[in-house]
Structure formats: structure tokens, C-alpha cells
Amino acid sequence: MKITEQQIEHLADLARIELTDVEKVKFGSQLSAILGYVNKLNQLDTEGVPATSQVTGLLNVWREDHIEGCEPAARELIVENFPDRQENLVKVKGVFKATPEEF
């Protein structure tokens, strides 16, 4: 499949890059070769071949999230021993420094 110079220029505009005339010719021939190879792959008989996104057979190994409760006595002990707290909440240093106006 032959790519025109206008198509190369359009792709360069989309990618926000400037190409010289030499680069347009070079990349045009390279992209034409790639598309020619893909076209050969399209001619293969894939009847009976299942569609797949990966071939290793691996499955998702993540576990489901679940909440485990904490005994009230253990919770009180944690909060009592924490150096900075407010009632039954533990205070920690802020991670983000943003004002409500920034949101």
C-alpha cells in the first residue's frame, strides 16, 4: 500500500512534528512497507482461530478486596498510643497542599 505525501503530512500534523522533504520520503516508504506487511497478514486464513489478547494463558492473580474489622479494644489501644489524634481519629501529615479554590 502506497502512502501519499499528503497522508504523511497529515500524520506529522497529528503528531505535532515537523518533517523535512527527505524525512517525508523516508517515512513514507517505511510506512508503506509496514502496511504492505500488515496487508499480507490480512490475507491469512484465520478460520477457526480464536481471537485472543494474550497467549500465555495467565489469569488475573489479584485477590478480591475485603474489609477486615478491628476489635474495639485494639482500636482504642492504637488511637491512645498515637502521638497526634483528635477524639478517636488519628491525625497524619497532609500529602497534598491544595486549597479548595484549586479544585
Tens-digit pLDDT profile for residues 42-94: 888 888 888 877 778 777 778 888 888 889 898 888 888 888 888 878 888 87
Give the ranges where the chain is alpha helix by DSSP (H).
5-15, 21-42, 72-81
CATH 1.10.20 fits 5-42, yes or no: yes
- CA dihedral of 18, 24, 27, 32, whole degrees rounded to 10: 130
Domain borders along the chain are: 5-42
**Residue 85, φ and ψ in degrees, nearest 5:** -145, 160
Give 36's contacts (C-beta < 8 A, 6+ positions apart): 1
Per-residue confidence (pLDDT) for residue 27, from 0 to 100: 92
- Model-level pTM greater than 0.85? no
Q: How many CB atoms lie within 10 A of CB 28?
A: 19
